[in-house]
Amino acid sequence: MIEVTNLSKSFKKTKALDNLNFQIKEGEIVGLLGENGAGKTTTLRIISTMIKCTNGTVKVNGFDINKEPGKVRNEIGILFGGEVGLYDRLTARENIRYFAELNGMEKSEADKSIEMLSDKFQMKEYMDRRVGKFSRGMKQKVAIARSIVHKPNVILLDEPTAGLDISASKLIHNFIEDCKGENKAIVFSSHSMDEVEKLCDRIIIIHKGKILEQGTIDEIKSKYNNDDMEQIFMSLVGDRNE
C-alpha cells in the first residue's frame, strides 16, 4: 500500500530526511516514533504530496508521488493533531461536504457517506451547527469525518490525540482499529508509547531524519532484551544525542 524508497528531504542546509526505506501493507497499523524535529511530520507531508521530496520516492497503492500526485491524494486521508483547520463559520456538515467535493465525490455519494459518518461518530445533534464554538473533541470528530469522507485506502495520522481528553482519545483509537478492520494501511505518529503499543502492528523509530530501528514491538523488545519500549526508545535516541 505504501512503499517508501530512498526518501530524502533537505531544507536549505538542513537534511530533514536521510534515505528512508520502509513499506506498509494493507490492514496494518505502523507507528512512526521520534522526538520533535525527528522528521515524522515531514515524512507524512511528503507521502500526502503536501511537500515535495528532494530525492527518492513514495508509491501509494502503486501511484508515484512525483509522477501522479493527484491520484495519490485520492487514495489518502490525513489527520493532524493540534489545530484541526476547520472553517468556523461553516457547519459540521458543510465542512465535511466541502472536502468531499474537493475529492471529486458526487453530491448523492457524499451525502450518503456524511450520514454514515454522522452516525458512526454520534454527531447528529450538532451536524448543522457552526463549528466555531465546538469543543476540542467535537471538532476532532468533524476533522476525522472530513479526512475519510471520500473513503481513502490509506490513512495518515500525525499525533491525532494531541490535546484530547480520555473519551475523545478513545474515539480516535476506535476509529483507527475500525480502519484496520477495513483493511486500510495506517501510519500513526504519536508521542504516547502506551497508545503505540496498544494499536500498532509495527513501529519505525526515526531520529534526525534517519531510521534507527523498525519491526514489531515483540521483535524489538526481544532484540534489546527489554520489555520497556520507553527505555529502548530513550537508549536508542539518547545515545545519538550525546
Element (H, E) at 204: strand 202-207
Element (H, E) at 10: strand 2-11
Question: pTM of the entire structure?
Answer: 0.87
Task: Write down the pLDDT at residue 136.
Answer: 83
Per-residue pLDDT, averaged over 84-98, amounts to 93
Strands across the sheet containing 29-33: 76-80, 154-158, 185-189, 29-33, 202-207, 210-215
Query: How far apart (Å, rounded) are the C-alpha atoms in residues 229 and 234?
Result: 9
- The answer to whether the beta carbons of residues 53 and 47 sit under 8 Å apart is no
Query: How far apart (Å, rounded) are the C-alpha atoms in residues 3 and 21?
Result: 8
Query: How far apart (Å, rounded) are the C-alpha atoms in residues 6 and 192?
Result: 28
pLDDT in tens, 135-180: 888 888 899 899 899 999 999 988 888 777 888 788 888 888 999 9
The beta-carbon contacts of 47-52 under 8 Å, at least 24 apart in sequence, are 47/2, 47/4, 47/76, 47/156, 47/187, 48/72, 48/73, 48/76, 48/78, 48/156, 49/73, 49/76, 51/9
Tell me the β-bridge partners of 9.
Answer: 17
pLDDT in tens, 9-58: 999 888 999 999 999 999 999 999 999 889 999 999 999 999 999 999 99
The pLDDT confidence band at residue 190, using thresholds 50, 70 and 90, is confident
Query: How far apart (Å, rounded) are the C-alpha atoms in residues 154 and 77?
Result: 6
- The answer to whether the beta carbons of residues 148 and 155 sit under 8 Å apart is yes
Cα dihedral 146, 116, 32, 167 sign: positive
Residue 223: all three cell numbers together? 532484540
Residues 6 or more apart whose CB falls under 8 angstroms from that of 32 comprise: 40, 43, 44, 187, 188, 189, 203, 204, 206
Phi first, then psi: give them for residue 68, nearest 5 degrees. -135, 55
Using only C-alpha atoms, what is the Rg of the chain? 18
Task: Write down the pLDDT at residue 79.
Answer: 84
Average pLDDT, the chain: 91
Complete domains list, the chain, with CATH: 2-241 (3.40.50.300)
Residue 85: all three cell numbers together? 483547520
